[in-house]
Chain A
């Protein structure tokens, strides 16, 4: 097969390649005659063995000696300077590292560090060559290097390849031939979409003889919505995204809109600089859009707590530290966290500089305790357009009603009854609150596990009044109750609360109780019957008034309790009531209040009475702020102006004597209620918002929140370019600084991560650490070339990925010989194509995809697919709302793994087994292991076994009529290639064996195909389906299936 020919762009590069300058030495390490380079050859030795005590950290520096700078190392000292350039013999360092005596020897033998002979020799040579220091490479801005000269002229397709080839030639290695087209399409489809190609897509690619068939394939993949989903799973590791708060109770949090934003951002190819700015500071952009606010949720992805007893400041500090560390790792490849407690031991980051960055992230307007809430503020509601329109309509309606109310009030001719003479006579009145129905606005409840409420008519049992009574029958304590009723009973001066009850003479309860909801509490109770049966409250107090024996059975009895006994003052609002029984059966009816109304003392009728009541009330939050100071005085002592304002407020909001006003007030309440209910249905997402006044920031001594040292303002480490001058230095300043072209790290760190995604290893292998201890890049010029290219392209991520996957380097075969394995075990020189196990999400998604089960619905709240029992229960705080796993059913079982609900203290087990991080903290590089537990998961997890059955069904239905054809089809579905004849033999033989087994044991066959919740196909004989299912299970366990080849 002909590889596609070079494109115009590649041609241009080839010309440059021909005229390219010779690169100054590829990185084989210095040869014997080549001068040593500090960054490459010396710094790793010093930072590994010496900087811990003789480095940047001034507090822990020993013997006042620093070896991380030329000045420090050559400074005059008592005795010999540590380093005398050109003269190892006169350098104390040389004597110390070669000392025989352990007490003189450096590094000290008990430090756990030791130099090799080779390292000692290298240090000697470096001193002899003049001890030249270099600034750490990663802190110098990248410059586009010239292309190196290479011998082989027919291989490179792009500058990327030229750099790779130059290195290979220096190593005396050859690139591998191009991979087969089946391998290529599978590799690039997995890399760009996280799913394997379909046989049809493979066929189309094989049949496409156009020279740019591969590039067209790449463009198709980059345009697929699957692309953004796949890219998002890497990014969400870095962003430490989860669907729970992550600490202690680990309740659900609503952040999925942010996750969906990330998917969309990759899909619309949002330039990486904007991608950065919107996440770090979307809320600080001028007139931020809804999307930009959602993006700012990046800052809220850190784990949070609401553990009882936790100290606010301690956690506020932790959150800000987490944000600094995350930004350090994700954008700068710096381990800034090391400088939280002391100056960084390795990198030139002082503790003070850490807290300058901290000062930037210390100002998010959040509470330290998340309240275990779904949406700890600040958060953004996300209404649909229809919901938004309805909200607006409700607001308009409320405004109109309020205008009408104001007008109605202005028409009132009100005189306070307390000021009338003679005063009006008190009146007794009875209000029935509950009859046939709980009061409007009440939300009736029962205790979990107790019998439901049953309203019955006279045909079914005793009814006292109206049409119905409430029947309750059950064991032990059971209750019917409703709290927070918004049409409460308002108590008068000397009232009686009552309820009618009819006790079943055959099975009477042993005790009954009335209970009242006041100020959010259920602490007022009256008991009849066995005083010990219902255990709540202390007997003899209003928590548990003992009203005597159980009333007579078999007839309606009026239970009464006086508000005086319950110690409830006039004006108190009863917002709920509970009918409680211990065992037995009873009917309840007509409950309410007999009130003595004295208009002169009734806050609903007398302004003065109301004012006095408000003056005694502890909670003043419901009054307009402007009055609160007035509460110090009786009404009569206030100014006329104050009195007028209070009077208006009273008539509008409180006065109960004018039906027209009350009616309007109720309408307003209805509108507000409707709005509240609608708002409850509207999802939200946590976002960032900046405090108006920044919190003061200090250097925290030893990193302790309660040991503030010197105050600091916002800033960045001096080793990096300065922040641009700004009126306010905040997250936006920092974000823009990160993506400014002179920043030495952001572009390098980012392109390195994309490289790692495709090739398995970064050019800098420690993709989280570009500091002094980080690994030296395998191809420094290539890294810089890519970084500059990325920035100059306008931070175009798709373009960068296209550049990489269309390179000759990427397209190589991954086949490796033992010799090559010995020369380059990790494939750092890229003499072959990438081959490594797929990420957890890709494995599961591929299983679902090849079986035809995958549901491609995008976005929304996390779903809960199959999960073995007991995973959440084993760890969950019992009252957490994620203590018990309630699995979804139907299509939600088959969504892409990106949409699986992520509980951070117990993440999805399949994901964890395949090396997904817990998302409790930022991760930019996943481990990749191979374990027996992974094998068990792929063999036995319900979702894999069910998928195997569907894959079997596809083989049977779509694969032809012969076993061999069907098996070959299945093989192709999972590997994108046809099996060799030997491979087909193994499959056929395996199928035969399983078929024999299931023909002999039909029950076993039925049991196997019954795994999973999807219906079993009827057109495939069950023994055949079972045999094929187990072979499909084999296919889904193939190394080739779980590996990107």
Chain B
């Protein structure tokens, strides 16, 4: 696509047709001025890329989103959705009246029995709100008054790949833009030195075989590539191709870029193509990234007290704790969306052992992130979302003993929590039945969840659209989606 199409699509059709000539001229002028703006004056808040006109649609409750995605599906029954009555039903058959012939994955659809496996973990009430939290999350439990715990999220997908793709792109089929790409497209970037949408994939502690991730989970789908999430990496260059090759320091690079800018400017004067000005600006932004990223990842000036909030692993690059601290530093610097994808929550067997290890990876850092954002006044403008792609079954997969069990995929209800910008803390939303199998009250489809996230960011999910294949595509698709006002403050 030429920048011109993109430009046209970024304007509402009406505005575009009304002012094509004028707008084109204005843009040409803006791009002409860009290099000067960017090079000369750091004080000037020239935005790396602007959002769509008319956005946000209304006053945003949050300007940033931190999405903590637990890939593989954490067990709601062992973490959040406390079901004390199950203890008496240990190893009894899950009643048909509960299962209702619901489809199962082929991993357990052949099982002869569906024995109830109560959680072996203890739950207790926490905070002023008295929300039940499992002993596996002792730290998160301490900030439970900041969280809106949604127990009734549900989806149709029952396998990891389609379900994760569904949650994060709005469709089970690959090809759609991710949530972060939509927000980046709609709202643009607040930072002139950092990308609008950053992704981290920290390591994990339970079994070695981890469910896959897919770049499409932070991809731009049919949106232009500039909206895709930029991985912030723990191996190699922190941002792809960021570092100059050996033997090239910043001064040598600057010399090269100065020459390049002059030659590109001559090309512009010869051809008149405004796209050349865009390219010149992008090279300047690249050069700035070369200093802003090292500054971002340098934790030298973080006080001990802050590091301690996130736990001892915070200084080990590539851990979840380190990623959470970077997330705070990113939003502090104006990055719009940060997505952390933590892997291997897929507990078909040995759930007690593996889930404990997984929780240990994330628990302290989740609390650290909330508290750190809060003490900086960032929590009220940052929406934090935690959860996986579906839940897990109350019945046991494989052998059930008093100390060990496994759980299969369960799309009918699972727990996510949200905190920060615009969300009411200390709240439990929705109710499931005694088996954490069916929703009894206040269902939240993942479309509703996405509509709500967009709403917090000041976006009406019905009006953030992009024309592709003849349709005004949107994150929430063509089906009904509603904002969950009940969790908003």
Interface string of A1001-1030 (1 = CB under 8 A from B): 101111111110000000000000010001
Stretch at the interface among B214-222, B330-338, B357-365, B437-445: B214-222
Query: In the complex the two chains form, what is the Cα distance from A471 to B395 in whole Å?
Result: 49
Taking a contact as CB atoms under 8 Å apart, the answer to whether A937 and B240 are in contact is yes
User: Which residue of chain B is the closest to A915 with respect to CB atoms?
Assistant: B225
Taking a contact as CB atoms under 8 Å apart, the answer to whether B106 and A310 are in contact is yes
B152 to chain A, nearest CB (A): 22
**Interface presence of B270 (CB below 8 A):** yes
Residues of A within 8 A of B174 (CB): 246-247, 303, 918, 920-921
**Interface presence of A552 (CB below 8 A):** no
Stretch at the interface among A281-289, A617-625, A849-857, A905-913: A905-913
Taking a contact as CB atoms under 8 Å apart, the answer to whether B24 and A821 are in contact is yes
* A982-B266 contact given A927-B1, A929-B226, A1004-B249, CB 8 Å threshold: yes
* A920-B175 contact given A835-B273, A994-B255, CB 8 Å threshold: yes
Residues of A within 8 A of B208 (CB): 878
Residues of A within 8 A of B209 (CB): 877-879
**Interface presence of A939 (CB below 8 A):** yes
**Interface presence of B210 (CB below 8 A):** yes
Taking a contact as CB atoms under 8 Å apart, the answer to whether B462 and A815 are in contact is no
**Interface presence of B86 (CB below 8 A):** no
Residues of A within 8 A of B290 (CB): 936
Taking a contact as CB atoms under 8 Å apart, the answer to whether B215 and A921 are in contact is no
User: Which residue of chain A is the closest to B243 with respect to CB atoms?
Assistant: A940
Query: In the complex the two chains form, what is the Cα distance from A986 to B471 in whole Å?
Result: 49
Taking a contact as CB atoms under 8 Å apart, the answer to whether B158 and A816 are in contact is no
Residues of B within 8 A of A821 (CB): 24-25, 28, 272, 274
**Interface presence of B303 (CB below 8 A):** no
**Interface presence of A385 (CB below 8 A):** no
* A1008-B247 contact given A335-B471, A932-B285, CB 8 Å threshold: yes
Taking a contact as CB atoms under 8 Å apart, the answer to whether B267 and A1039 are in contact is yes
- CB < 8 Å: which of A335, A817, A1004 contacts B470? A335
Taking a contact as CB atoms under 8 Å apart, the answer to whether B225 and A927 are in contact is yes
Residues of B within 8 A of A823 (CB): 21
Stretch at the interface among B112-120, B130-138, B276-284: B276-284
Taking a contact as CB atoms under 8 Å apart, the answer to whether B282 and A990 are in contact is no
Residues of B within 8 A of A1004 (CB): 246-249, 252
Residues from 397 to 413 in B contacting A, C-beta threshold 8 Å: 408-409
Residues of A within 8 A of B105 (CB): 308-311
**Interface presence of A870 (CB below 8 A):** yes
Interface hub of A114, A879, A940, A1003 (most chain B Cβ within 10 A): A940
Interface string of B358-392 (1 = CB under 8 A from A): 00000000000000000000000000000000000
Taking a contact as CB atoms under 8 Å apart, the answer to whether B470 and A346 are in contact is yes
Taking a contact as CB atoms under 8 Å apart, the answer to whether A940 and B244 are in contact is yes
Query: In the complex the two chains form, what is the Cα distance from A1010 to B235 in whole Å?
Result: 21
- CB < 8 Å: which of B210, B226, B234, B235 contacts A878? B210
Interface string of A839-875 (1 = CB under 8 A from B): 0000000000000000000000000000011100111
Interface hub of A836, A873, A914 (most chain B Cβ within 10 A): A836
Residues of B within 8 A of A918 (CB): 174, 215-216, 219
Stretch at the interface among A633-641, A715-723, A759-767: A759-767
Taking a contact as CB atoms under 8 Å apart, the answer to whether A997 and B252 are in contact is yes
Residues of A within 8 A of B247 (CB): 998, 1001, 1003-1011, 1026
Query: In the complex the two chains form, what is the Cα distance from A765 to B237 in whole Å?
Result: 38
A-side interface residues, number (CB < 8 Å): 123
* A1034-B470 contact given A249-B212, A931-B225, A936-B242, CB 8 Å threshold: no
**Interface presence of B84 (CB below 8 A):** no
Interface string of B230-243 (1 = CB under 8 A from A): 11011111011111
Taking a contact as CB atoms under 8 Å apart, the answer to whether B4 and A773 are in contact is no
Residues of B within 8 A of A868 (CB): 236-237, 240-241
* A875-B224 contact given A918-B219, A1034-B256, CB 8 Å threshold: no
B-side interface residues, number (CB < 8 Å): 107
Taking a contact as CB atoms under 8 Å apart, the answer to whether B107 and A309 are in contact is yes
User: Which residue of chain B is the closest to A921 with respect to CB atoms?
Assistant: B175
User: Which residue of chain B is the closest to A116 with respect to CB atoms?
Assistant: B14
- CB < 8 Å: which of A765, A880, A994, A1034 contacts B5? A765
B366 to chain A, nearest CB (A): 21
Query: In the complex the two chains form, what is the Cα distance from A785 to B346 in whole Å?
Result: 58
* A932-B256 contact given A116-B17, A307-B161, A309-B408, CB 8 Å threshold: no
Query: In the complex the two chains form, what is the Cα distance from A900 to B159 in whole Å?
Result: 30
Residues of A within 8 A of B305 (CB): none
Residues from 759 to 811 in A contacting B, C-beta threshold 8 Å: 760-761, 765-766, 768-769, 771-774
B333 to chain A, nearest CB (A): 15
Residues from 9 to 52 in B contacting A, C-beta threshold 8 Å: 13-14, 17-18, 20-21, 24-25, 28, 48
Interface string of A293-307 (1 = CB under 8 A from B): 000000000010101
User: Which residue of chain A is the closest to B158 with respect to CB atoms?
Assistant: A309
Interface string of B92-105 (1 = CB under 8 A from A): 00000000000101
**Interface presence of A510 (CB below 8 A):** no
User: Which residue of chain B is the closest to A989 with respect to CB atoms?
Assistant: B259
A870 to chain B, nearest CB (A): 4
**Interface presence of B89 (CB below 8 A):** no
**Interface presence of A987 (CB below 8 A):** yes
Residues from 929 to 952 in A contacting B, C-beta threshold 8 Å: 929-937, 939-942, 945
Residues of B within 8 A of A773 (CB): 467, 470-471
Query: In the complex the two chains form, what is the Cα distance from A118 to B16 in whole Å?
Result: 13
Taking a contact as CB atoms under 8 Å apart, the answer to whether B225 and A913 are in contact is yes
Taking a contact as CB atoms under 8 Å apart, the answer to whether B213 and A874 are in contact is yes
Query: In the complex the two chains form, what is the Cα distance from A982 to B105 in whole Å?
Result: 69
User: Which residue of chain B is the closest to A312 with respect to CB atoms?
Assistant: B106
Residues of B within 8 A of A353 (CB): none
Query: In the complex the two chains form, what is the Cα distance from A815 to B272 in whole Å?
Result: 6
**Interface presence of A616 (CB below 8 A):** no
- CB < 8 Å: which of A346, A768, A818, A921 contacts B25? A818
User: Which residue of chain A is the closest to B25 with respect to CB atoms?
Assistant: A822
Taking a contact as CB atoms under 8 Å apart, the answer to whether B4 and A825 are in contact is yes
Query: In the complex the two chains form, what is the Cα distance from A926 to B468 in whole Å?
Result: 12
A218 to chain B, nearest CB (A): 24
User: Which residue of chain A is the closest to B288 with respect to CB atoms?
Assistant: A932
Residues of B within 8 A of A980 (CB): 266
**Interface presence of A216 (CB below 8 A):** no
**Interface presence of B122 (CB below 8 A):** no
Residues of A within 8 A of B263 (CB): 983, 986-987, 1034, 1038, 1040
Taking a contact as CB atoms under 8 Å apart, the answer to whether A870 and B235 are in contact is yes
Interface hub of A706, A989, A1039 (most chain B Cβ within 10 A): A1039
A819 to chain B, nearest CB (A): 10
Taking a contact as CB atoms under 8 Å apart, the answer to whether B246 and A929 are in contact is no
Interface hub of B249, B251, B471 (most chain A Cβ within 10 A): B471
Residues of A within 8 A of B264 (CB): 1038-1039
Residues of B within 8 A of A246 (CB): 174
Query: In the complex the two chains form, what is the Cα distance from A536 to B212 in whole Å?
Result: 28
A884 to chain B, nearest CB (A): 12
Query: In the complex the two chains form, what is the Cα distance from A270 to B172 in whole Å?
Result: 37
Query: In the complex the two chains form, what is the Cα distance from A769 to B273 in whole Å?
Result: 28
Q: List 7 A-B contacts (CB under 8 A).
A: A311-B106, A873-B235, A931-B226, A939-B253, A942-B245, A1026-B247, A1038-B267
Nearest first, the 8 A-B pairs at minimum CB distance are A309-B105, A1008-B247, A1007-B247, A1007-B246, A773-B470, A920-B174, A935-B286, A877-B212
Q: Which residues of A contact B (CB under 8 A)?
A: 48, 112, 114, 116, 118, 246-250, 303, 305, 307-312, 318, 322, 329, 335, 337-338, 341, 346-347, 706, 760-761, 765-766, 768-769, 771-774, 814-818, 821-823, 825-826, 835-837, 868-870, 873-880, 905-907, 909, 912-915, 918, 920-921, 925-937, 939-942, 945, 980, 982-983, 986-987, 989-990, 993-994, 997-998, 1001, 1003-1011, 1026, 1030-1031, 1033-1034, 1037-1040, 1043, 1045
New A-B contacts (4) at CB < 8 Å, excluding given A825-B7, A1038-B263: A116-B14, A305-B161, A815-B270, A821-B25
